[in-house]
Chains A and B, each alone.
Chain A
Amino acid sequence: MTESLLPVDAYLVESLPEIWFGAVLFALGMYVVLDGFDFGIGMLYATRTDEHERETFLAGFGPVWDANEVWLVAFGTMLLAAFPRVYSRLLADNYLLTIGFVLALLFRGLGPELREQRDDEQWQRYADYAFVGGSVFAPLLFGMLAGRWLFDGATLPMVLTGVGLVAVSVVTGAAFLAAKTEPGLAAELRTYGIGATVAYLGGVVVLLGTVVLTDAGGVADTILSGPVAAVVALSVAAGVGGSLLARRGQYRAWLVSALALPTLLTVLIALLLYPAIYPPTGLLVREAVVSPLALNLVTVLGFPVLVVVLWYFKFLYGVFSGPIEREGYGG
């Protein structure tokens, strides 16, 4: 009976596997962009000593972080649903990195909740350690995981990818907070944001240079191609332009260009992968993808839901747009 509803032996459209490659990377991009600024908030939090400012940071983070984090689950499960071998190998081959990453996420998520529960200085200090530590290590380890995915076993590119993700998270975190807080604090955040932008752009250049020289993951040729050059150029433009906007105090515009950085980073990942999807074994998108019926099914049932999800994400950010109210974490 399913045959009448869904094609069993052919993909709904010829390019469905490639569309799913795009969809998986879209979920990854959403995660890197959205949880990225959460990580940034967590790291910048460490620079604050004033209780009021800390609470402002947490109030900006509180309503959205959990929803942002679900994009990670969406990414993981979409990868499993469309390319089970990649999901399996990526995680199994990088066992300790992955477990380290999820534990870092655990501490990051738990920290603010614990802090909220008890008015005790010592207790709150430990909760803060969990929050800040998790916010540093989660993007670092996740970036390293991405590095292992892209560049096979090479150590330096792997570490640089991790550091790059940390830096870009600081940029977006600073821009997000600056757009939602008072001018004095925003000006301080701007300094961190611009510094991180410089570090990030420098990191990307060093990373790509290293990869070209060592041909890690066999992607040297791709890097020297037009599309990658375009992405790098756009990143530099977004970074420099954003920093100038920040200087001028146009924080909302800065936020937009800051968010372009992790977006472009995801595009870069896609370019470096395709047409392979698991460079360490050279596995191609077409080889790794599930059978037509399974992919058609997740498309027909999943894509409309994804549209609805995007719609109520917009609602969520709408409700909590505008300046952060100092109502503290937990309302």
Chain B
Amino acid sequence: MTYMSPTPVLTTLGPGVMPFLSAELASRMQFGWTISVHIIFASLSIGLAPFIVYFTWKDVRTNDDRYARLRSFWVKVFAAGFVMGTVTGIPMSFQFGTNFPQFSEVAGELIGGPLTFEAKMAFFLEAVFLGVLLYGRERVRDRTYVLSSVLVGVGAWLSGFWILVVNAWMQTPRGYEMITRNGMEVAKLTDPLAAFLTPRMTWMYVHMMNASVISVALLVAGVSAYVIWKKPDTNAWNTALKLAVVLLVVSAPFQAIHGDAYGRHVEDTQPQKFAAMEAHYETGQADLHLLAFPKSASALTDPRAENLVTVSLPAVGSFLASGGDFDAEVIGLNEYEENPPVALVFWSFRFMVGLGFLFIGLALWGGYLTYRGRLSDSTRYLKAMIAASPLGYAALLTGWYVTEIGRQPWVIQGELKTSEAVSPTLTGTEATLTLVGFVVVYVGLILTALYILKWLVREELQALGVRESSDGRWHGPVPGVSDDD
């Protein structure tokens, strides 16, 4: 492959004209930005799918109008999210070629397979049966209808599987050898099983799927809490809130326990990234592991285990005291010629883990209230859940920043650098223009998605008989839970 010398960050379009980013920087920002938006909608589909299946099944089976109501609301959210996932997914699949053609060519044999399986096994399934789910209620039998909802869910979880096969391979590449083809050094597939099921894959899949479930459970809980806050006696939404809380009680602690073990796997396979995640531990406690959940017994026999238990925030203090200068002090990172932007990785990691513990707290609080039978009565809890509704996504995104930014300067760990992966024919001007285009369009997209959610909630409140003008919480005695409408 052609090695590209590092391009200057800024190029200019003639004298006095506005500066443009380099093709490399603009491409990286564009990829990072577009996938951040895509992943929000993709994980919405993944996390919402089990809810949709459950509501649809209950609706068809029991004819209980609680489930009809929830199904109809969340299917609308799912449909809007799906469209946004689709329209943002297509640019993703082209950017491998437009912006990182050297990467596509080097890794084509390895990533092409999983990506085409994703299209054939997952996207088709999802898109075809969503058509049936949205438009086919009167045209197919009940059983086919429920089955369609299941197949849509299977499609979403499978697309997550195949795309993560690709990403996991980029983190821990195996099953290939480098050969020369058409004058370029490219990876040749030698062992498909090894290449598809890299050590990273299982970790990533479990963590990512569970993250999607957590994020959507928080969203469902937040919306339910808001509706209940406005109108406490709604049967359907009380059910939804309880369901979300139960899911959180299981998934939030699991994520922390799993994340802790996952961290050690990263340490084994990508020590440089791990050093970046723990940067501030220059004092030798390099393995802060905020995630020292007293779960894994083997952790105690691990030499690093003692440090693991110190969930010490003072470490953060020492970081601040050092003036935010990571690179100079940190042992480990110094051994590398080029390092990822440590502060980003470090703070992203703290942010994700911190939110993870917050979610455990919210889950346990909700679990306790449910146990006492007062879940919907606690104004404070409802408010907390409303506030927490977008936070799952915040954790999910920052977790990905750890993974992707922490991997830099490599795009394929140890094999190909990001700077070598960028298109040699792309100009900074073109890349900057499209970056600006994507920023503008996707900001519009996100705002629209939020408005749609807002309108759907407002519509639901109207259907429940809450007057437009009633701004605040329901006043007066909390009525007993009764039928809707």
Contact = CB atoms under 8 A, between A and B. Distances in A.
Nearest to B423: A92
A80 B104 contact: yes
Interface stretch (A102-110, A204-212, A242-250): A102-110
Contact of A88 (B82, B86, B101, B125): B101
25 contacts: A8-B190, A62-B134, A63-B131, A67-B128, A69-B90, A70-B123, A72-B90, A78-B119, A81-B116, A87-B96, A95-B426, A96-B430, A103-B441, A106-B90, A106-B441, A110-B83, A113-B79, A113-B80, A287-B182, A291-B189, A301-B117, A302-B116, A302-B120, A305-B117, A319-B136
The 4 closest A-B pairs by CB, nearest first: A84-B108, A91-B97, A81-B112, A88-B101
A291 B131 contact: no
B446 interface: no
A89 interface: yes
Contacts of B420: none
B101 A66 contact: no
Interface in A282-300: 283, 287-288, 290-291, 293-294, 297-298
B168 interface: no
Given A70-B123, A92-B423, A306-B120, A105 B90 contact: yes
B93 interface: yes
A98 B94 contact: yes
Contacts of A98: 94, 97-98
Interface string B388-422: 00000000000000000000000000000000000
Contacts of B189: 290-291, 293-294, 297
Contact of B448 (A74, A93, A114, A301): A114
Interface residues of B, number: 74
Given A73-B119, A106-B441, 4 more contacts: A81-B112, A110-B87, A297-B189, A320-B139
Contacts of B84: 110
Q: Which secondary structure characterizes the binding site on chain A?
A: helix
A87 B108 contact: yes
Contacts of B320: none
Q: Which of B79, B135, B455 has the most CB of A within 10 A?
A: B135
B204 interface: no
A108 to B, nearest CB: 8
Interface string A1-38: 11000101000000000000000000000000000000
Interface residues of A, number: 66
Nearest to B82: A66
A96 B425 CA distance: 12
A285 to B, nearest CB: 13
B115 A80 contact: yes
B45 interface: no
B33 interface: no
Contacts of A105: 87, 90
Interface in A106-164: 106, 109-110, 113-114, 117-118
